[in-house]
A and B are shown apart, each in its own frame.
Chain A
Amino acid sequence: MDNTKAVKHHHEPLVHIVKRDDMPSWKAWLIRIATIVISIFLMGCLSTMLTEKSLFETFEMMFRGVFGRIESGSTVMLWKYLQEIAILLCLALALTPAFKMKFWNCGAEGQALMGGLAAMMCMINLGQTLSYPVLLAVVIITSILAGAVWGLIPAIFKALFNTNETLFTLMMNYIATQIIAYYVYIVGGGSNIIQPVAEGNLPVIGNNRYLINIIIVAVICIFMYIYLKYSKHGYEISVVGESQNTARYIGINVKKVIIRTMVISGALCGVAGMLLVAGTDHSINTNTVGGQGFTAIMVSWLGQFNPFIMVLMTGVICFLRLGASKVADTCMLNASFADIVVGVVILCVVGCEFFIRYSVKFRHSKKEVKE
């Protein structure tokens, strides 16, 4: 009632949101970093209240969960941290070209699973017949192809029939999960588990089981930066993302760009699946990607489609996840505590992003009264 009266008098809503362009980038970055630091600090406070440990102890636990006893020269936990970053980053990098084109690929989970499935099938069925180098090449190529095909299907429908790619890719995830479940049933038989396969694994460099994954993702990261920033393809992607009409006007074949970009996106997801199956687990189940395909969406967004900022974002998210799960395990909290911490921090960052891009203006008269 009051509202309608107010509107009658002033013809202006109580609050309105204005896009702001004047924020200098150093200031925006300062706000982002401060948000992350403050939200981590708040989550630290939350866990101290739940666990009756002091803030210092909480952060020490988090540090231990991520880096282990690094001061005594034990780097095994550090490598595990880098491995977590590598897998999440690989998925986020895969999504980025599609996102930049404003093609909302929510199917990283399924595309990675299909890549992993292809790798697994080669390892099981060809493991005994092919020599190692040939087998490895086949594993890599088929998993890339499988991921690419899983990305290609929604792209074709989008390009030709303009179907909704968000729903399409999401549904493709369910299909992939069910295919994996069926495959595990066929191969695993009564036990419902595929025992790890020793053939066709990625090579282990210097007794470090994660180094190969980390190197591969580092290479992809640099490649993606150059591809998006300096290549003609990268330019076409950003034009199609800004405006399809503009793209058409300057002679870009939009359909071709959509399909090509989604093939790359799917192929890189396939690589992530291959890293998980041939490089890490040597087995597969419906939980192999474990929802990271969805976390990767946030990483790509928060990294503003810049591969190097995405490295930092994955670093923060993996730190929180590993650290908070250590706190949860040590203090016998529920394991979901880690998800809560990551969720709250991401929410804070998304919130701060809103205030960086828009400013909230209150009605003038109200403001005058306040002051």
Chain B
Amino acid sequence: MKKLLAILLALVMVLSFAACTKTPGTEDESTDADANNSASTELKDVKVGFIFLHDENSTYDKNFIDAAKAACTEMGVEYAQKTQIPESNDCYDAAVELIEVDGCNVIFADSFGHESFLIDAAKKYPDVQFCHATGTQAHTAGLANFHNAFASIYEGRYLAGVAAGLKLNEMIADGKITADKAKMGYVGAFTFAEVISGYTSFYLGAKSVCPSVTMDVKFTGSWYNEQLEKEAAQALINGGCVLISQHADSMGAPTACETAGVPNVSYNGSTVAACPNTFIVSSRINWTPYFKYMIECVQKGEAIATDWTGTIETGSVVLTEVNEAAAAEGTAAKLEEVKGKLLDGTLEVFDASTFTVGGNAVTSYLADVDTDANYEKDTEVIENGVFHESKFRSAPYFDMEIDGITLLDRNYG
């Protein structure tokens, strides 16, 4: 017994010595950070607190985590983060902790369900700014310190669709398929506006260069389920789809495509490392511009926009490098051209003349823009023949099922 105790104590001593000897290194780092901060003394001190639904193992959260690090390092501000925060009162507690313990004066949360709990915290701390991605309530909440943000990712999807359409054209020209066999497959998470808006813009992009294209959509009912996404992609390929894209966060669909040798248009970032032969291009939202804007506003004491929509112009909607090994020839040049048209406003993604619903042209549509318990449709969103996505609020609300796209199943969770 005594011997055991002696060994244990010795072990503890060694460990604590090991721990203590490492401390000088960390102190050096912190003084570096202080030096950076002192450069901007005339501005208000900012410390950002980030609340993430998962951690860096989810591509969705990794996209936010990377942007948070990039923006805060670039702006020379401190930040704290809390990962694995569920969409419950835990989000309120996390915000309180970031404010009370870490001294943050800007709070950002990344998941849709965090919103109501963040609003609770915003009411309690009127001097702290709260920003929330993908939310819908800021424009009706009437709080000066609560803000929503999203990006016009449908423009990125449209561009990715153009790349897909060019690939289909190449396959038709090479005689691999006939024009009427140009069918794409799409793996979606849930049958929500965010996903519907995404796959519809992707489809319209492809259709703009390959008029005969059709598309099948399958839903997994989960934002992250590698096995289900793989199976859905496989089922679509077996059903005759010659090109696959997805709106879900795992590597399931891209790897199924690589195995089957079917071209893939990805999301949330490049998958070229795992899929060198089939990855064409990927669109994603870059959150760094918003984080920098948010930090700058607080530093200067200016108001943050209630409902901020990032665009191609702000650098929020980005495409990865085109993978020449898989993409059709001239894809990069064509994407630049279409991007130019989107930027100067000569091209609209949801131009109502380019699609029909149930065989009829759409001239008027009421969308559910203001959040209410009954999901009432409340706002006319078609003006001058264009469906204005992300105009009346940043989060997507396009939820029409247009002709040419077949939903093989539906999944609301």
Contacts and interface: CB of A to CB of B under 8 A. Distances in A.
Chains A and B bind each other: yes
Interface of A: 38, 41-42, 45, 48-49, 52-55, 57-58, 64-65, 68-69, 74, 76-77, 80, 181, 184-185, 188-193, 195-196, 280-283, 285, 287-288, 290, 325-326, 328-330, 332, 334-336
A331 B309 CA distance: 32
Contacts of B190: 190, 192
Given A45-B16, A192-B190, A329 B83 contact: yes
A72 B88 CA distance: 28
B116 A335 contact: no
25 contacts: A41-B12, A45-B19, A48-B15, A52-B22, A52-B23, A54-B23, A58-B19, A64-B101, A68-B101, A69-B101, A77-B96, A77-B97, A80-B96, A190-B190, A190-B399, A192-B192, A281-B89, A282-B89, A283-B116, A285-B87, A287-B87, A326-B101, A329-B81, A330-B80, A335-B83
Contacts of B86: 285, 287, 290
Nearest to A124: B373
B96 to A, nearest CB: 6
Interface in B374-391: 375
Which of B19, B20, B190, B193 has most chain A Cβ within 10 Å? B19
Interface in B1-56: 8, 12, 15-16, 18-20, 22-23, 25-26, 55
A335 B89 contact: no
Contacts of A45: 12, 15-16, 19
Contacts of A196: 116-117, 120
B15 A188 contact: no
Contacts of A325: 82
A227 B116 CA distance: 40
Given A45-B15, A69-B101, A193-B113, A288 B412 contact: no
Contacts of A188: 413
Given A49-B19, A329-B81, A190 B192 contact: yes
A66 B20 CA distance: 24
Contact of A195 (B16, B193, B373): B373
B406 interface: no
B192 A74 contact: no
B93 interface: yes
Contact of A74 (B55, B100, B113): B100
Which of B26, B55, B100, B117 has most chain A Cβ within 10 Å? B100
Given A42-B12, A48-B15, A74-B100, 10 more contacts: A52-B25, A54-B22, A80-B97, A185-B413, A190-B190, A190-B192, A190-B193, A287-B86, A288-B88, A329-B81
Nearest to A331: B26
B116 A53 contact: no
B112 interface: yes
Interface residues of B, number: 41
Q: Which 4 A-B pairs have the closest CB atoms?
A: A48-B19, A192-B413, A335-B84, A45-B15
A334 B54 CA distance: 10
A57 B19 CA distance: 10
Nearest to A329: B82
A281 to B, nearest CB: 5
A192 B412 contact: yes
A190 B22 CA distance: 51
Interface string B45-81: 0000000000100000000000000000000000011
Contacts of B323: none
B212 interface: no
A54 B84 CA distance: 25
Contacts of B8: 38
A42 B9 CA distance: 11
Contact of A280 (B23, B89, B399): B89
A76 B100 contact: yes
B413 A181 contact: yes
Nearest to A290: B86
B191 interface: yes
A191 B373 contact: no
Contacts of B225: none
A336 B84 CA distance: 9
Q: Which secondary structure characterizes the binding site on chain A?
A: helix
B57 to A, nearest CB: 8
Interface string B84-119: 101111000100110011000000000011001100
A249 B412 CA distance: 56
B371 interface: yes
Contacts of A181: 413
B412 A189 contact: yes
Contacts of B87: 193, 285, 287
B113 A281 contact: no
A45 B375 CA distance: 52
A114 B113 CA distance: 21
Contacts of B18: 48-49
Contacts of B82: 325, 329
Contacts of A334: 55, 83
A191 B112 contact: yes
B189 to A, nearest CB: 10
Contact of B88 (A49, A77, A287): A287
B55 A185 contact: no
A214 to B, nearest CB: 14
Contact of B100 (A77, A288, A290): A77
A325 B51 CA distance: 13
B105 to A, nearest CB: 15
Contacts of B96: 76-77, 80
A349 to B, nearest CB: 16
B193 A281 contact: no
Which of B25, B83, B86, B192 has most chain A Cβ within 10 Å? B83
Contacts of B399: 190
A77 B19 contact: no
Contact of B93 (A52, A80, A330): A80
Given A190-B399, A191-B192, A287-B88, A332 B81 contact: yes
Contacts of A191: 112, 192
A53 B16 contact: no
Nearest to B102: A330
Nearest to B65: A332
Contacts of A74: 100
Contacts of A52: 22-23, 25-26
A221 B88 CA distance: 26
Given A74-B100, A283-B116, A55 B19 contact: yes
B88 A195 contact: no
Contact of B371 (A58, A195, A330): A195
Nearest to B83: A335
A287 B413 CA distance: 14
B83 A65 contact: no
A189 B375 contact: yes
A184 B412 CA distance: 10
A87 to B, nearest CB: 11
B249 to A, nearest CB: 15
A91 to B, nearest CB: 16
Contact of A184 (B26, B93, B116, B413): B413
Which of A77, A281, A330 has most chain B Cβ within 10 Å? A281
